[in-house]
Amino acid sequence: MTRVGTAETGHGGAGRRDTELRTWRAHLRRAMTALRRPGPWKRGRVLAALALLLGLLMLLHAKVPNRIGNLGSLVETFLPWFGLFIPVLLIGALWRRSASAVAALLLPVLVWLNLFGGLLGDRSHPGGGLTVAEHNVGAGNPDPAGTARELAASEADVLALVEVTEQARGTYENELAKAYPYHAVQGTVGLWSKLPLSDTQLVDTKMDYGPLAETKPLDVKMAYNRALRATVTTNQGPVAVYVAHLGSARVNPRAGFWTTHRDRNAQALGEAIAAERNERVVLLGDLNGAMDDRAFAGITAQLRSAQDEAGNGFGFTWPAQFPVVRIDQILVRGVQPESSWVLPATGSDHLPVAARITP
């Protein structure tokens, strides 16, 4: 009986030792696994690198070359939207529990806020004795009469229209005649005003009239003119108003971001404004580009954006159904913008813009 008891005790002790050994082995495996697993500062290195690259791209966007497909201008056109990558990278960093990736995200966050943080709030203030508006009414607009009535209801004192076709011109003139006794149309751009207009003239923006342009008759070139200048007489004195519709910008798989005509027009328009003797200038137009684009440096060096100074948000205008970029602009010099806003959609693929200024 003693032997049996001793044997049972021995077998029981061996079982406990086996259990303890297995437990210690499991602990050891977990410890080795923990040692091999990278810490929070070593995890997510790819995410951290992407965050730094994003921040550097936004910070140094002016250094992105335009030699290949106008890449620099393309980046600058959609620069505000690069901020959308920040929450995507943040979700990835939290999922990977990567402290390094979270820390790296501070760079793009700070850069984006420095570039666009000031546009998030309402920058308007009361005042302003002159309301101006601009609209690309669209050559394919199915309801020009309705568009004209909606624009007249905005009660703008000065209204600039671009992409006015020969077929629709009479409709705009008839519908706007009662609200705007003064108007001038040159080619496909027009200016309607409640205040007297004078010194209306074409602005040569070096438009491309196609092959054998030098042989085209003047009336043919006039029909395709896309810029004018006029003087608006206000109670505070004359204001030079420019209306412009610059060449189109296109994303082409072969050519990249194609802006050849637009850039040439922008340079010519900048030269015309530089030669303007009136200190008070307002530019209203579809410039087919964002003002962050380096192609407009000759214009933005002289004029300030009413939307940037006195708007609310980014003020995107195109396309009308889901605006992603502001290409319809109100730019000023020598006057003070008090507020700027986007008007409701019309039959055009652009949204109208308006601003209240103190001449």
Each domain of the chain, given as residue ranges in start order, spans 45-119, 130-358
Report the pLDDT value the prediction gives residue 6, as an integer from 0 to 100: 46
CA distance from start to end of the chain: 116
Contact 273, 319 (CB under 8 A): no
Residue 20 is predicted with a pLDDT of 73
State the burial class of residue 313 (Cβ atoms within 10 Å of its Cβ: 0-12, 13-18, 19+).
middle
- For the chain of 359 residues, list the mean pLDDT of each consecutive stretch of 10: 47 69 71 60 90 98 94 97 98 94 97 96 93 97 98 97 96 98 97 98 80 44 79 96 96 87 96 97 98 97 98 97 97 98 98 97
| Architecture of the 130-358 domain | 4-Layer Sandwich (3.60)
In angstroms, rounded to a whole number, what is the distance separating the alpha carbons of residues 151 and 23?
80
User: Which DSSP helix (H) or strand (E) runs through 187?
Assistant: none
Distance CA 154, CA 337 (A): 17
What's the confidence (pLDDT) of residue 42?
A: 79
In this prediction, residue 224 carries a pLDDT of: 67
**Per-residue pLDDT at 11:** 58
Burial environment of residue 182 by CB neighbours within 10 A (0 to 12, 13 to 18, 19 or more): middle
Question: How high is the pLDDT of residue 32?
Answer: 60
Say what the pTM is: 0.86
Sign of the dihedral defined by the CA atoms of residues 168, 171, 175, 178, in that order: positive
> Angle 71-72-75 (CA atoms, 0-180°, nearest 5)?
85
Per-position b or e across 96-134, b if 16+ CB within 10 A of its CB = bebbbbbebbebbbebbeebbeeeeeebbeeebebbbbb
Environment class of 35 (CB within 10 Å of its CB; exposed 0-12, middle 13-18, buried 19+)? exposed
